[in-house]
Amino acid sequence: MTKTRILENVEEIDYDKKASDKKLTVKNAVRDGRIARMSKEIKTIGVLTSGGDAPGMNAAIRAVVRKAISNGVKVKGIKKGYQGLLNEEIIDLERSSVSDTIQRGGTILGTARCTDFKYEEGQAKGAEICEKHGIDGLVVIGGDGSYRGAQALARHGINTVGIPGTIDLDIACTDYTIGFDTAINTAMQAIDKVRDTSSSHERCSIIEVMGRNAGYIALWCGIANGAEDILIPEKYDYNEQRIINNIINNRKHGKTHHIIINAEGIGHSTSMARRIEAATGIETRATILGYMQRGGSPTCKDRVYASVMGAYAADILCEGKSNRVVAYQRGEFKDYDIEEALQMQKEIPQYIYDVSGRL
């Protein structure tokens, strides 16, 4: 590519550096920060799912494919996340390829974690493979780790857009992440069933839910299931005696069972159950819900919101945007720079947490 051709595609250049100090290519210009934005024509986009799967990912994939095709752009699916990209597991996707998928859990493209993509060599290889297959832009559906991979590809000249796909709701730039609604409903129904048997046997039950280092699933389920104690990483002070006192006081007042929702980020539910039983004399059992929370047919909300996010991502890629992440905030779908999104902080709403301890 000649210098003249590149300059036609560049809207803004940092002229503090002379172009002569290095061979001027799109890759070098992006790496050096010379290009603020490229108006690159998008002919083919790719889509992949990365990290943990989440119900609703298929709805997002379906929307990316169909919206891009309606925009006159070809779509390729990349199987098994960034690992599949490095292995060149790339397939063509048509409208019919995503038929009868919106109601399915998991991800039809598969997903995997990829250590190689954390390093420059793997990232550069991924960008080269995208170019080899004619992929001008890439939609990445996953969590914050997946965004870092997308950010790296953008530095290598591949337009990228991230979509928040995680049941943990731990992405700071958005009020909604794909899969959270299904996960909390799955967990809520399971906890209701545990409560039934816990009440019959007059037990204390510790139910551990997923969420990694975030307590959103535990907090929501704790409120929805009427738990007596809710333990989340952001707020728990590890004062087990307080929980023991609460169980004993409730039993004195005629409460025949006790439900504790424990977040994955705290964990150790089985050993906690043993200690509580030893201290109270009340039979205490731990139930770890585990990966069932990631499966199942997505709820209406996850299907609709994931579909809108997928369509939004396809549209902004086709407009030539890059290094963006789709978000939902205060009732609106919008997009942020990935770096800005990764720098944001998210906290458990204090009022909701306070209310959870009073109900």
* Active-site residue, 168 included: yes
Supply the Cα-derived Rg of the chain in whole angstroms: 24
Which pLDDT score, from 0 to 100, does residue 113 have? 87
Q: How far apart are CA 320 and CA 96, in angstroms?
A: 26
Token pair for 299 = 């709820």
Q: Is 71 left (phi over 0), alpha (psi -120 to 50) or beta?
A: alpha
Domains of the chain and any CATH numbers: 43-178+298-343 (3.40.50.450), 181-295 (3.40.50.460)
pLDDT digits (tens, 9 = 90+) for 133-191: 999 999 999 998 899 999 999 999 999 999 999 999 999 999 999 999 999 999 999 99
Q: What are phi and psi of 207, to 5 degrees?
A: -115, 115
Of the residues 53, 136, 144, 168, only one is catalytic, namely 168
Place of tokens 């890439």: 138
For residue 99, with 0-12 CB atoms within 10 Å meaning exposed, 13-18 middle and 19 or more buried, which class applies? exposed
| DSSP code string of 175-208 | S--BTHHHHHHHHHHHHHHHHHHHHHTT-EEEEE
Beta sheet of 258-263, edge-to-edge order: 229-231, 258-263, 204-209, 284-288
Residues 6+ apart with CB under 8 A from 50: 81, 82, 111, 112, 113, 114, 140, 141, 142, 143, 145, 146, 149
Model confidence, pTM: 0.87
Place of tokens 């535990």: 218
Residue ranges, the chain, pLDDT below 50: 1-38
pLDDT digits (tens, 9 = 90+) for 312-332: 999 999 999 999 999 999 999
Pairing outcome for strands 90-93 and 74-78: antiparallel
